[in-house]
Chains A and B, each alone.
Chain A
Amino acid sequence: MRAHITLHALHKGGTEPHEYEDAAWVGSSAAAGPDRGMMPPPGPACRRGEVGRVATVRAAVSDGAADSLLARRWAETLVRRAGAAPTRLLRGGADFADLLGQAADRWPELMRRYELMREARGRPLAWYERPGFERGAHATLLVAHFAAHRWAPGCGTWSAAALGDSCLFHVRGDRLRVAFPVTRAADFGTTPALAASGGQDHAAAAARAHCVHGRWLLGDRFYLATDAMAAWFLRRTEHGGKPWAALRALDSAAPGDLARWVERQRKAGELRNDDVTIIRIEPR
């Protein structure tokens, strides 16, 4: 299959670029090793690409909880793990909970290395970091998987799994076909379900995870977004607007253009001031 992919990422207003705490990953689960990722993990940036002759496309976004000490590191761990996971782990709540558990299994080793790195740099963990370090980090996770039909051109299947309020939107023509897992702008809050780096009750995670699947046709567009952008998207749609049209205008945007557009939306009260991450995938 082929796909046109655009990724926009911007840090929250009033923060520094390195304080961005979302994470995104786009790649092909069929590729091996470091070639899996088609795009590097984003800092605040605009990236776009055209990919071709891959068996599948996989994309994931994650939103690190603001009150977690190492939210960005955990969000990155989750999207990388989701990118590398076998497709079967995206098919049901229990399987998705397995995926979250596998990511959590990696966390202690990552933290051991992080602590050593801090000591080597002469900045050992301070008393005010220690509780957050021991408590671990929390983040949402949304992962979507796209595959081409075996022999029919221009169509295929997709599936997605999510914990929390990072969202996928499937647009066909000028109509929003699927909003997943949040379907109304009013349903966004400050306490979404989150994946915990310290591991969590498997049954509870499985029960709160959501899965969906469908078919795509040539010309369909998929958007994966963290909560601020997802709420903007849904609100616009609920008011009869076509947010995908506004986003299409950003397709060729440079990072500065994106920052100005986001700033205008924030000032108008249309977009909550938070990290912004949105991936557009147009399978072909």
Chain B
Amino acid sequence: MPYTAEISRANPGCLIFLIDQSSSMDDPIGRAPGGGRADADTPPRKADVVADSLNRLLFELSVRCAKEEGVRDYFHIAVVGYGSGVRPALSGPLAGRDLVPLSEIVAHPARFEARVKKTSDGAGGLVARTIEFPVWVEPVAAGGTPMCQALGTAAALVRGWVDTHPDGFPPIVLNLTDGESTDGNPAEPATRLRYHVTGDGEALLFNLHISSNRADPIEFPGPNDPLPDQYARLLSAMSSELPPGMRAYATEQGHDVTDSARGFVFNADLSAVVQFLDLGTRATDLR
């Protein structure tokens, strides 16, 4: 059965993030009428949302793979930015690197920033606490949207990975964009990217469409579900279907996914797809 290969240190997974850094990412994110936080008058910039989503995802992945002896290298990770060029987008000590083992990601954030987190005070209330939050990717918004070139760069990384891990879980490419490619139709390079296979299945391409459109968020639509604009339709069509194991876990987690649900979200959180990956017995609260 495809997409059942074990993800472990001996057989690590490969995650490639493509982040749109074009000038249009300077625009604010769209919010559905009545949606968003009441205390935020101005919606954040798309570039800020994308960088923050990715930093949170890397943080969660680090926590999920942490054990007493350190962080286990269950994943190798690349972050590629595309805007005024197509290049590795990790900042700080990892600048210029492409695929990096998770333990190195953990060891070398670019910086830490103080964030306020509300936690239980043990007496039914909440208490605000300042935590140090690691940052690996900074928001950038400049240049065009060479998505085809970015997908080609991802395909080269995918090819190298499947050559050296022929029986492993297929690489997963997660593309975070506002959808308007400026160097051609991305559907074709997306298809070529998925030609690369391991014994466990073809490479997976998932898309997060972050848009100024004020339509409601959408998660993992079926192929015939209505989508708000042509860019969303294109990105959804070029997204891989969620593999059965990920779909089953998504359903357990309360996501409404059909058998042919796409790995596509619109103005929603894509980090869930990484949580769908099976690393062994998962904690589920009985609360």
Contact = CB atoms under 8 A, between A and B. Distances in A.
Interface of A: 12-15, 18-19, 63-70, 126-132, 134-135, 137-138, 140, 190-194, 196, 200-201, 204-205, 208, 227, 273-274
Given A67-B279, A192-B281, A274-B280, A208 B67 contact: no
A19 B69 contact: yes
A128 B280 contact: no
A196 B283 contact: yes
B252 A201 contact: no
B71 A66 contact: no
B66 A70 contact: no
A73 B71 CA distance: 17
Nearest to A135: B283
Nearest to B275: A67
Interface size class of B (residues with CB under 8 A): 20 to 34
B66 A129 contact: yes
A127 B132 contact: yes
Of B59, B112, B279, B282, most buried by chain A (CB within 10 Å of CB) is B282
A134 B64 CA distance: 13
Contacts of B68: 69-70
Nearest to B133: A127
B285 interface: yes
A139 to B, nearest CB: 9
Contacts of B134: 127
Contact of B281 (A65, A69, A201): A65
Given A128-B71, A191-B282, A205-B286, 10 more contacts: A12-B8, A19-B67, A66-B279, A68-B283, A126-B66, A190-B249, A190-B278, A194-B283, A194-B286, A273-B8
Interface string B48-80: 000000000001001110111101000000000
A14 B11 contact: yes
A163 B67 CA distance: 24
B268 interface: no
B69 A190 contact: no
30 contacts: A19-B69, A65-B282, A67-B64, A67-B283, A68-B283, A69-B67, A69-B68, A127-B112, A127-B131, A127-B134, A128-B62, A128-B71, A128-B106, A129-B66, A131-B63, A135-B283, A137-B283, A190-B249, A190-B281, A191-B282, A191-B284, A192-B281, A194-B281, A200-B285, A200-B287, A201-B286, A208-B286, A273-B6, A273-B8, A274-B280
A130 B63 CA distance: 8
A138 B282 CA distance: 8
Nearest to B11: A14
Interface string B243-287: 000000100100000000000000000000000001111111111
